[in-house]
Structure 1
Amino acid sequence: MNTALWIVTVVLAVGFLAGGAALILLPKDRYRALGANQHWVDDFGATQLKVIGAIKATGALGLVLPAGVVPMLVPLAATGLALFMSGAATTRFRRNEWRYFVGDLVFIGLFGFVAWGRFALEPLT
C-alpha cells in the first residue's frame, strides 16, 4: 500500500506543480489558449489566477517535501488539495462543464485516498 500511495502522491504532485507553475508564469490569455478545457479562467482575474497557481504549487510541494521532516503535513496537504478541488468542481458545476466536473471528482478521490492512506493506513514516520 505504501508504494501505491507514493506513486499516486508523486503523480499528483508533479501534475499540480506543473499546473500551478503554468498559472503563475503565463499571462491569462496565454493560459486560456493552452486547451479547450480552460474556459474556467474567464471567471477569474489575473491576480486570482496567480493565487490559484500558488495554492496548487504549494500544495504539490506539501505532498512530497515534508515527508522526512514533518510527516503529518503530507496528509494535511492532500486534504487541503481535496478541498481546493471541491472549489474547482463547484466552478465546473456552475458552468455546466460536466466532463471536466467528473475529472475534478476523480482528483478529489485521489487526494482523499492519499490523505486516508497517510492518516490511517501507512502513516509516514
Structure 2
Amino acid sequence: MKKDIQIPKVEDVYVAVVNEYNDIYKTQDWNAYIINDKTVDLDVVLIVTNGYSKDKTTSVFRKKLDKLPAKSYAKIELMQEELFALNNQFKVTFFEGNTMYDKTFLFRKNTINLKALQPIPLMESKGILVK
C-alpha cells in the first residue's frame, strides 16, 4: 500500500534567507522567502518552520498562502541572527493543479552568514538559497 503512494519531486520552488535593508527601522534584516520559479501558480501553500540543535528547539511557526503566482516570491518570516546557530528547517506543502507536493528545505547551522551570499532567482537581492 505504502509503496503505491507516489510523491512527485519538487522542482523550481526554493526557500531563501535574504539580507536586506529595512527602510522603516533603518536596519539590516534577515528575511526568509519562498520562491516560485515555475510557470504555474501554486495553491494552498503551507509552510511550517522551526529551528533545532541537540539541546535547543524553537517554537513552531506556521504560514499559509492561498496562492503563490508563477515567477513570484513571498516573505515567510523575519529571522533573528541568534537562530543561525541552529539548523533551520522549512517544511513546504503545496498544490499544483490537483497534485500535492511536499519538501523540507534545511539551512544547516552557521550556513546563513554574510560570506555565503549569492544572487537569488527572481529577486534583486543576495542571500542564501536552498533548492
**TM-score over 0.5 for the pair:** no
Higher strand share: 2
* Class of the TM-score when normalised by the shorter of the 2 chains: under 0.3
Higher helix share: 1
